[in-house]
Amino acid sequence: MSVTLRTALPGDREAVVDLILALNVHEADLVGDRRRDRGGAAAYYDELQQRLAKRDGRIVLAVAGGRAVAAMGFCIDEDAAYVTPDVRRHGTITDLVVGEAWRGVAYERKGAKQEAIESYQRALSVESGNATAKQGLSRVNGGISLFRG
């Protein structure tokens, strides 16, 4: 089953809240400080939307088989003036939430990792001019290039 990424729409709110709630319940068992109620997940969704709006960002939704399986915050950021101009502007992924059934699943299928990478490229419109980021991300991802060209 292929995964596609798209900008989350207002009608996707409940699906994203469901993902956040499931993660909160899972993490509550690990760290003990997470709320386990839907109100907490809904409030966090609202906070995420507010934070991303301040940074001209958005929620990106991963969809498989017509269902939301993951969500993340995404925005374009710019580092401080001491960073060289050619790498100063970059995309930042925040608040990654992956549905329990999909945690670790995508990379078990042959070619799924490359499929996911290519999907991220399309959805996030990553600029290809940052050679340093390209090299670093390729190393992190076992030599699989995250960028075309």
Q: Is residue 88 part of a domain?
A: yes
Confidence (pLDDT) at 20: 96
Q: For residue 13, give the amino acid letter.
A: R
Confidence (pLDDT) at 110: 45
pTM reported for the whole predicted model: 0.69
Confidence (pLDDT) at 86: 87
Q: Is residue 138 part of a domain?
A: no
Q: What is the mean pLDDT of each run of 10 residues along the chain (149 residues)?
A: 88 97 90 93 97 93 93 90 88 87 62 56 46 48 40
Supply angle C-alpha 12, 49, 32, rounded to 5.
Answer: 90
Domain range for residue 17?
4-102
Q: Look at the chain and report how many structural domains it folds into.
A: 1
